Amino acid sequence: MKKYFNTSLLLATWLVTLPVWAMATSPDTLVDNTAQEVLAIVRQDKDLRAGNTTKILDLVEAKILPHFDFTRMTRLAMGKNWSKATPEQQQVLVKEFRTLLVRTYSNALSSYSDHTITVEPVKDKAGDTDTTVKTKVINQGQQPIPIDYSMEKTGEDWKVYDVTVAGVSLVTNYRSTFNNQVRDGGVEKLIQTLVDKNRALVAADNKAASAK
């Protein structure tokens, strides 16, 4: 469980610049437009800046999550152990992993109102369906944080299936943790660990909200 917390500071920034617009456009333009829109929303809403959990989760659900391929992310994080799970277990794993990521990192949005985002133009050829969009989160007086989005085009939509922050891949980072859980107690052990972790995060959010 310790590893879930070890990566929170490093990976928390990934929610800031995720694709929101369902448009047939280039992935770099999509990310750039989205970054500015999300930051503008946070800057203009005092509740978001204050860390209002309900409003932050609503923003994430409405603007961000539909443009993530959580099934592929979970499959990549599971690695060879994905095939050990039944179809029903796979559905639960995707649901719980999605919840874990959202609950762990969504509060990062409230702390980025003073940051700026730069996006490098993508140099892929027309017709490519897999690409990496490179961005940097900049805070005055601090070292820029590089964030790379691995994206795949399915139909007209680009979806994120991995995020690499300062050289650390989200799915690769979780893979070792998931492998350890499956090795120690099978797929059910991993599912129960994710369920317990998500319950703890919900309880912590509720406690923080009641204290305000």
Per-residue pLDDT of the chain (212 residues; tens, 9 = 90+): 444 434 444 444 545 545 444 445 788 988 888 778 888 888 898 888 888 888 888 888 877 787 789 999 999 999 999 999 999 999 999 999 999 888 877 766 667 778 888 999 998 777 789 999 999 999 888 899 999 999 999 888 889 999 998 999 999 999 999 999 999 999 999 999 999 999 998 888 777 667 66
Question: Which pLDDT value is given to residue 15?
Answer: 53
Question: Which pLDDT value is given to residue 131?
Answer: 94
Model confidence over 187-209: pLDDT tens digits? Answer: 999 999 999 999 998 888 777 66
Question: Which pLDDT value is given to residue 113?
Answer: 73
What ranges do the domains of the chain cover?
Answer: 2-211
DSSP code per residue over the chain: -HHHHHTHHHHGGGGGG------SS-HHHHHHHHHHHHHHHHHH-HHHHTT-HHHHHHHHHHHTGGGB-HHHHHHHHHGGGGGGS-HHHHHHHHHHHHHHHHHHHGGGGGG-TT-EEEEPPP-PPTT--EEEEEEEEE-TTS--EEEEEEEEEETTEEEEEEEEETTEEHHHHHHHHHHHHHHHHHHHHHHHHHHHHHHHHHHHHHHHHHH-
Question: Which pLDDT value is given to residue 76?
Answer: 97
The verdict on pTM exceeding 0.75 is yes
Inter-CA distances, 202 with 32, 104, 115, 157, 197, Å: 31, 10, 27, 31, 9
Question: Which pLDDT value is given to residue 4?
Answer: 46
CATH superfamily of the domain spanning 2-211: Tgt2/MlaC (3.10.450.710)
Model confidence over 105-118: pLDDT tens digits? Answer: 776 666 777 888 89
Question: Which pLDDT value is given to residue 114?
Answer: 82
